[in-house]
Amino acid sequence: MRPTIEVTEANFENEVLLSNQPVLVDFWADWCGPCKMLAPVLDEIALEETGRVKVAKVNVDSNPVLATRFGIQSIPTLLYFANGEMRDQTNGVVSKRAIVSKLEKLAVPAKGIRAGLVALAAAMALVLLNGCTSVPVQRDSDPWRYNPNTGYPAVGNDFPYSDR
């Protein structure tokens, strides 16, 4: 059994557009040398990402309507779908690392505590990398007040949400 899914004009909507997982779609042909080079990499990704990402293959010779619909002019072309929308595209043979990186950007966000920790880590990384000049300074004696629209601390007498 192949780890990738063969997609045709008949099942494209169900397998790709209505999928609840991100979908990587490979437009390829039997006669295409670079497509044959990329196939084992896609099979490997499909096995490693089972349950998280679908890897689908569209033969452009058998499905010219799909190739035309997405403006495929060279192969291999990889289209990255999430929530029924095409989010990214690569043309030609690309590394496994590049493909996985694009798929990670499409991944469904984590829920609950994990999502909060991921968001906190990302914010801290941005502060460390870019420096932070926009954090308000709060005097120790002042109680914290928050802007109800943004959730950020409200500081100073002239701040519109301050109750001074």
Given the residues 16, 23, 32, 75, the one annotated as active site:
32
Kindly give the pairing relationship between strand 77-82 and strand 85-91.
antiparallel
Q: Please indicate whether residue 132 is annotated as part of the active site.
A: no
- Check if 32 is active-site: yes
Beta-strand pair 145-146/85-91:
unpaired
**Helix (H), strand (E), coil (C) string for the chain:** CCCCEECCCCCHHHHHHCCCCCEEEEEECCCCHHHHHHHHHHHHHHHHCCCCCEEEEEECCCCHHHHHHCCCCCCCEEEEEECCEEEEEEECCCCHHHHHHHHHHHCCCCCCHHHHHHHHHHHHHHHHHHCCCCCCCCCCCCCCEECCCCCCEECCCCCCCCCC
Annotated active-site residue in 25, 35, 58, 79:
35
Could you give the residue numbers annotated as active site?
32, 35
